[in-house]
Amino acid sequence: MLKLKPSFLSPLDPPSWPVGFEDPEETSVVQGRSTKLICPAQGYPRPRIVWSKDGENITGNELGVRLNEDGSLDLTAAQVSDAGKYSCVAENPAGDLELTITVFVHGECYLYWFLVRWHSCSLWKFCHTLGFCIGLWQPFLNTVSVEILVTSQ
């Protein structure tokens, strides 16, 4: 008598995002800092992840860019030239899936806080020149708490 072993076919599962994953349409990073772009596609067989920036494939040999085994992309010490549209394509024999993230690179921000006497007119000239100040009058101390946000370009 001939006995056959049952064979199981592995169905293909096209790439998809995990439950609860929200597509980040854009992200910002401060110049000189690092950020991670994720592409958490799942499927069977495991999807191959391909990253591109502004339509050009990323090989991982670019300065300041690291492709990780989990499909994520690290921008280390981001520069203004790193700003742009990044796309990850997850592909397997059952299909493909694309995610696009716009990356903005901003100058370093500094927050200054100090306490000054209310009658200091020079502070208000400084704030007006700078363009952004928040003042909080404290009548019981006859002082103003001031926060100044300075952004380098």
31 pLDDT band, cuts 50/70/90, is: confident
Tell me, what amino acid is at 23?
A: D
Q: Name the E strands within the chain.
A: 13-16, 26-30, 35-37, 42-44, 48-53, 56-57, 65-67, 73-75, 84-92, 95-106, 109-117, 133-138, 143-151
What global pTM score does this model have?
A: 0.66
List, for residues 110-149, the tens digit of each pLDDT value. 444 444 444 444 444 444 444 444 444 444 444 444 444 4
Q: How many angstroms separate the CA atoms of 51 and 71, rounded?
A: 9
**pLDDT at residue 85 in the model:** 96
First to last CA, the chain: 82
Q: Is the pLDDT of residue 38 over 90?
A: yes
Reduced to 3 states, what is the DSSP secondary structure of residue 113? strand
Superfamily for the 17-106 domain: Immunoglobulins (2.60.40.10)
Domain boundaries, the chain: 17-106, 109-151
Residue 28 tokens read as: 């910002």
Q: Is the pLDDT of residue 60 over 70?
A: yes
Q: How many angstroms separate the CA atoms of 17 and 90, rounded?
A: 10
What average pLDDT is seen over the chain?
76
Q: Is the pLDDT of residue 37 over 80?
A: yes
User: Considering the chain, what percentage of its residues have pLDDT values greater than 70?
Assistant: 63
CB 97 within 8 A of CB 17: yes
Q: Quick one: average pLDDT of 85-102?
A: 95
